[in-house]
């Protein structure tokens, strides 16, 4: 079995475990807990690991507190992170002290302060801040290639060479744009289109409608990787849950493209690993 398949096996198992503990947290006697806080454009996710870095609890909420990677509702963001933290503390019967967070690549000068303040104001001691694709790679453990994180508002690209990040970029195209296209094509309010899009039952029918936006993302990827020797692309982020997105990106870039079974929770788990 190739290293890549092994990575995905590990990643898929980890995400499956995380999905399980979102439904049913594991009460452990861990001496310490590490929480990853993913403050996303569409979704705020908290992932809790125990002292052995195993997922023990998690929670998420769709929210509108971040746009294109920037915190736009500071008070709302603190409230959601605090509420999710309290919910998990009650379930685990412990206090969650240590938290790490991430920001889209390239926005550190602008927004890392806001994200840091949100996480600290919600009651965490912030232990680390890192960019999203780098966080995802804590789980994927890719040595060479590009990790592409297609979230709600943005697409983050991180190029790795011999296990080191050598290039990061972030562009304002993501799942929100997909929902806008669905809203337009189906004459639906945005909120309904967002829900319609997330339902895997609709993915086959939606793929041709969304193909131009996916092709735009492929062209964004091409622009950023053109001066690098990228032979593999690894997709993460909630938008990559769309069935068939990997085929369009592979065709548009001409580069072998892979995605884990559930790309949605890779980044929050990777953030928790960095805690
Ligand atoms: P960003 O990284 O841009 O700040 P985010 O962290 O909120 O955003 P994710 O949580 O990775 O991003 O992904 C959220 C996006 O994934 C949303 O646009 C959402 O509609 C989309 N999404 C979630 N589940 C699915 C699904 N099953 N099918 C299609 N899209 C999905």
pLDDT tens digits, residue range 45-79? 999 999 999 999 999 999 989 886 788 999 999 99
Which of the listed residues 18, 42, 46, 59 should we mutate to test ligand 1's pocket, taking the one with most ligand atoms within 8 A of CB? 42
**Alpha helices by DSSP H, 72-107:** 74-92
Do 183 and 161 share a structural domain?
yes
For tokens 């807990």, what's the residue? 33
Q: Residue of the nearest CA to atom 26 in ligand 1?
A: 198
Do 147 and 124 share a structural domain?
no
pLDDT at 215: 98
Report the number of distinct structural domains present in the chain. Answer: 2
CB atoms inside a 10 Å sphere around CB 55? 25
Asked which of 5-9, 93-97, 137-141, 187-191 is least confident by mean pLDDT, the reply is 5-9
Q: What's 71's domain CATH number?
A: 3.30.420.40
Cβ contacts of 215 within 8 Å, gap of 6 or more: 248, 252
Do 236 and 149 share a structural domain?
yes
Do 72 and 56 share a structural domain?
yes
Do 117 and 8 share a structural domain?
yes
Do 222 and 156 share a structural domain?
yes
Do 128 and 103 share a structural domain?
yes
Do 172 and 130 share a structural domain?
no
Do 154 and 108 share a structural domain?
no
Is the pLDDT reported for residue 249 higher than 90?
yes
Do 120 and 8 share a structural domain?
yes
Do 161 and 129 share a structural domain?
no
- Ligand 1 atom with the smallest distance to the CA of 264 is 11
Torsion of CA 110, 113, 114, 118, to 10 degrees: 160
Q: What is the ipTM of this complex?
A: 0.98
CB atoms inside a 10 Å sphere around CB 6? 11
Identify the domain containing residue 119 by its residue range: 3-136+265-273
Task: Name the band, by pLDDT with cuts 50, 70 and 90, for residue 104.
Answer: confident
Torsion of CA 216, 220, 223, 225, to 10 degrees: -130
What are the pocket residues of ligand 1 if the criterion is a CB atom closer than 6 Å to any ligand atom? 38, 40-43, 66, 69, 132, 151-154, 174-176, 194, 197-198, 200, 237-239, 241-242, 264
103 or 223: whose pLDDT is higher?
223
CB–CB of 142/235 below 8 Å? no
In the chain, the percentage of residues whose pLDDT exceeds 70 is 95
Do 118 and 153 share a structural domain?
no
Beta-bridge partners for 157: 148, 169
Rounded CA separation 207/223 (Å): 23
């Amino acid at each position: 079995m190739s290293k890549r398949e092994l990575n995905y096996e590990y990643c898929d198992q980890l995400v499956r475990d995380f999905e399980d503990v979102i439904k049913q947290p594991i009460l452990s006697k861990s001496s310490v807990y590490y929480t990853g806080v993913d403050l996303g454009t569409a979704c705020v996710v908290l992932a809790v690991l125990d002292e052995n870095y195993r997922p023990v609890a998690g929670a998420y909420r769709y929210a509108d507190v971040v746009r294109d990677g920037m915190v736009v509702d500071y008070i709302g963001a603190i409230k959601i992170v605090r509420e999710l933290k309290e919910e998990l503390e009650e379930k685990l019967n412990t206090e969650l002290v240590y938290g790490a967070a991430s920001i889209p690549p390239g926005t550190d000068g602008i927004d890392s302060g806001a994200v840091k303040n949100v996480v600290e104001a919600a009651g965490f001691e912030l232990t680390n801040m890192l960019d999203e694709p780098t966080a995802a790679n804590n789980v994927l453990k890719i040595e060479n290639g590009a990790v592409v994180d297609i979230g709600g508002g943005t697409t983050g690209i991180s190029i790795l060479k011999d296990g080191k990040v050598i290039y990061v970029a972030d562009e304002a195209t993501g799942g929100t744009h997909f929902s806008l296209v669905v809203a337009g094509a189906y004459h639906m309010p945005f909120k309904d289109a967002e829900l319609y899009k997330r339902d895997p039952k609709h993915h086959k029918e939606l793929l041709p409608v969304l193909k131009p936006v996916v092709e735009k993302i492929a062209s964004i990827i091409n622009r950023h990787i053109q001066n690098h020797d990228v032979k593999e692309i690894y997709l993460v982020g909630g938008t990559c849950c769309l069935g068939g997105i990997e085929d369009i990106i592979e065709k548009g870039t001409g580069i072998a493209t892979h995605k884990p079974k559930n790309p949605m929770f890779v980044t929050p788990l990777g953030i928790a690993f960095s805690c």
